[in-house]
Structure 1
Amino acid sequence: MIEAVLEDAGAGLDPDTVVGMDSRFADDLELESIDLVALAERLEERYGDRVNFAEFLADLDLDEIIALTVGRLVDHVAGRLAAATVEG
């Protein structure tokens, strides 16, 4: 799913890139800040306000953003969707 979201966000991953839970957006996937903006937009399109990526990033310091992994984002998305299900 994350590969599809990254593709839709225009991340332009190399076809040989393997995306796993430990993949770091900056170092491994070579995403720039503009790619993260596109990713945030795509997540909002897919999940609405249940998953607020901008709010998630705002709670991180710069080093945490640079070290952000696919797994941490997946955990955030899954947690927010689970909370929305319980609340809704």
Structure 2
Amino acid sequence: MVREVLGEYGLDDAVIEMDTKFHQDLELESIDLVALSGQLEQHYDGRVNFAEFIADLELDEIIELTVGRLVDFVVSCLASDKGE
């Protein structure tokens, strides 16, 4: 899904690792995170609310957000969903 967002900017070949930062390394803006949020919510049938997660972060946390932190969030959402 991250690669889809990057593809819109012609950055299909960008290296994406767990410590890759959305802002600094991938140069994604907040609108891109909103698009990614929508894709995640749709893909996981509403079980992953990335927009709500981002809304709870401070600005510096958003700027430093990594792919790994997103992955951890998705995993925790899906794990808690199984527990219900």
More helix by proportion, 1 or 2? 1
Contact 2:6/2:12, CA 8 A, preserved across alignment: no
Instruction: Please identify runs of 4+ aligned residues in structure 1 that moved more than 3 A.
Output: none
Could you list the runs of 5+ residues in structure 1 that have no partner in the other structure?
none
Corresponding residue for residue 30 of structure 1: 27
Deviations 1:45-78 (A, max 9, x none): 1012211111101110000000000000000000
Cα RMSD after superposing both structures: 1.3
Check if 1:6 corresponds to 2:2.
yes
Residues in 2 aligned to 1:11 and 1:44: alpha-carbon distance in whole angstroms: 18
Residues in 2 aligned to 1:86 and 1:69: alpha-carbon distance in whole angstroms: 26
Could you list the runs of 5+ residues in structure 2 that have no partner in the other structure?
none
Check if 1:86 corresponds to 2:83.
yes
Corresponding residue for residue 65 of structure 2: 68
TM-score by length of 2: 0.89
Q: Secondary structure at the match of 1:22?
A: coil
Taking only the aligned residue pairs, the percentage that are identical comes to 59
Q: What is the number of equivalent residue pairs in this alignment?
A: 82
Q: Secondary structure at the match of 2:19?
A: coil
Residues in 1 aligned to 2:33 and 2:49: alpha-carbon distance in whole angstroms: 13
